[in-house]
Structure 1
Amino acid sequence: MPHLSIEYSANLENRVDISGLCANLRQAAERIEAFPLAGLRVRALRADHFAIADGDQKHGFVDISVRLRAGRTMSVRKAAANALFRAAEEFLKPYMAQHSLALSLEMRDIDPELSPKTGTIRDHLGDPQ
């Protein structure tokens, strides 16, 4: 873990490089010492149906959800959330300077006893962690 899910309004599809945002957030997460490389997942899901503020379709949103296995201190989680938010904000800054956009991020813990996992990614990394 962590898993980052980016939900974004469909009106951003041709205006924001969503793949670039995913790569940017993965790189930011990779720099966070408390995040194991093999556990990083970043995915983006487009919301085709949405209504924001006054209903004008010019408004858009990017909502980032970070799911993280429990066990990290509040200070570690807060620093990680801030680093990821800053990375997203910096990436989206040029768009936000000219367009209406709401950006949010929420980090939450996952109970490891209720979240079984398996995989072979570590077996295929050049420098397993």
Structure 2
Amino acid sequence: MPHFHIDYSPNLEDRLDIAALCAVVAQAAKETGVFPVAGIRVRATACTHVYMADGNPDHAFLDLSVRLRAGRAPEAKAAATAHVFKALETFCDPVMTSSPFMLSMEMRDIDPELSPKASSIRKYLPEEMR
């Protein structure tokens, strides 16, 4: 049940393929082996109002927030964070090298006692992805 939520400055839509970015994040998450494929959810939201550094409208940012159910070993989470962030860096490198750009990521646990879930998606996935 990991949630991958990308917040980004709207001026990135002219510089990055956001749909492709979502696919890159999902693929990197799968590659870690830490997250069940059936639970991976990636979404991206352009922030309507932004102000960065000195207010220059050319500045851009992208922040990936990962929320996941508690219980994974700290080493597994650290390795997954490094792997997903590396995929983000690689995908965003053309923007980073050509314009003012801030890239960040945070992974945090969700308290399962305070986060009920329901899903029917597994019955629609191939057996090997359940």
- With the shorter chain as reference, the TM-score category is over 0.9
TM score, norm. by length of structure 2: 0.96
Once the two structures are superposed, residues 85-120 of structure 1 have per-residue CA deviations (whole angstroms, 9 ceiling, x without a partner) of: 000000000121101110000000001111100111
Aligned counterpart, 1:81: 81
Over aligned residues, Cα RMSD in angstroms?
A: 0.8
Q: Which runs of 5+ in 1 are unaligned?
A: none
Q: Distance in 2 between matches of 1:116 and 1:87?
A: 30
Query: Post-superposition, which runs of at least 4 consecutive aligned residues in structure 1 deviate over 2 A?
Result: none
Deviation at 1:73? Answer: 0.9
AA aligned opposite 2:45: L
TM score, norm. by length of structure 1: 0.97
Q: Does 1:94 align with 2:87?
A: no
Once the two structures are superposed, residues 1-59 of structure 1 have per-residue CA deviations (whole angstroms, 9 ceiling, x without a partner) of: 11100000011112211111000000000112120011000000001210000110110
AA aligned opposite 1:20: A
Count of matched residue pairs: 129
Aligned counterpart, 1:13: 13
Aligned counterpart, 1:38: 38
Q: Does 1:48 align with 2:57?
A: no
Q: Distance in 1 between matches of 2:25 and 2:34?
A: 15
Q: Which runs of 5+ in 2 are unaligned?
A: none
The structure with more helix, counted as a fraction of residues: 2
Helix, strand or coil at the partner of 1:104: strand
Helix, strand or coil at the partner of 1:62: strand
Helix, strand or coil at the partner of 1:96: helix
